[in-house]
Amino acid sequence: MRIITVVSGGDAPGINAALYHLALQAVRHGDTLLGALGGFPGLLNERIETLEQGALLPWIGLAGTYLQSSREPVLAQPAGRAQLAEVLARHQVDALVVFGGNGTLRHIPPLLAELGLVSIGLPTTIDNDVPGTEATLGFFSACDFAHRTIDGIRATGHALQGRIFTMETLGGDTGYLALEVAHSAGADVALIPEMSYDAAHVAARLKAGIEQRGQALMVYSEGLPGKQALLDALPVLAGIRIRDTRLGHAQRGSTPSHYDRWLAAQMARHALTSLHEGRRSGVICVEGGRIVVRDSLIGMPPRQPDLHLYNWINALPQGDT
C-alpha cells in the first residue's frame, strides 16, 4: 500500500513522533510512506517525498512538523479537488493520513470520501477542541509548557510576597487549555471564552489568594472577550499591581510530553491497522482513555468545557455562569 501523510492547519507537539511511528508501522506492513511538504497546497504542487525511519528519527522529540503545514483552503473549489485526484493517481497513492484540528477533521475526511479516496484523520491541536475525542495530539505538551512557566512564576511569588500574576495561554476561541492548566496549577481564577465573568469577583478572588498564601494566579485564554480591559481594571479593583505573562506561540512549540509521544505511537498504529483492515474513512479518537476509530465527526456536537470545574476553580455557585 502507498500511503501519503498530509499536515493541515496548525502545528502541534507530537506530529513528528507520529510521523516516525507511521514510518515504523509502514515497514512492518510492507507499505511505502510518502509525505506532502506544505499541507494540501504542497500536495497539489507535488512536493512529495518518501518518508524513511532514519530521516524521521532525529525529529521524534521535536515540536512543529517535519512536513510543514498550511491553512490555505485549496480543496474548497472543484478545480482543487480534481487536481488532488490527478496527483494521487499519478503517484499511485492508495490512502491518506491527515493530521488536523477541528476544522480539518470535520470537513476534509468527508470531502475525500466523496471523491472516492481512502483516508484516516489524526486529531492534532493543542486546543483539544475536536469533537468525539477526549484528547488531541499536542494538548498535554502545551499544558506541560504552561506549568514550567507557572513554576517560575510561583518561585518569584514566594520570594517576593504580595503579588498577583496573570498568565495567558493559547487556545484560540476555546478555553480547554486554560481551564486544564488553571485546575492542575491550583490557580485562583480561570477565565475562558465560553463563560462570562465578573471583574469585581475576579479581583476579590485574587485578593483572597494574596491573603491566604502571599500570591495569586489567574489563568486566562487568549480568546477571552475584553481581556485587556479586565487587565487594566484589576489593579484598580484589587489595589495591587498585576504581573502579566503571555505564552504566545512558544507554547505550541513545546517539547512533546511522554503522553503525546505515547498517543502518537498509538494513533499511528491504529491508523495503519485500520487501513489494512479495509476501512475507507475514519478519525482516530480517544474515548475513556482508549483509542477508538470513528467513521466521521459529522453531526457530533462541539465540545463544551466542564462548567462544574470552571465554577469550582472560580468559587462560583454550581450552574452559575
Which residues are annotated as catalytic? Answer: 127
What single-letter DSSP state applies at residue 26? Answer: H
Give the pairing of strands 48-50 and 215-221. unpaired
Pick from 185, 255, 262, 266: which is nearest to 218 by CA? 185
> Are 14 and 124 within 8 A, CB to CB?
yes
Bridging pattern class, strands 281-287 and 290-294: antiparallel
Cell readout for 218 is 489567574
Residue with cell 476553580: 313
Phi, psi of 258 (to 5 degrees): -60, -45
* CA proximity to 254, closest of 146, 178, 167: 146
**What is the C-alpha radius of gyration for the chain, rounded to an integer number of angstroms?**
22
Q: Residue 266: name the closest of 123, 73, 90, 103 by CA.
A: 123
Contact 7, 96 (CB under 8 A): no
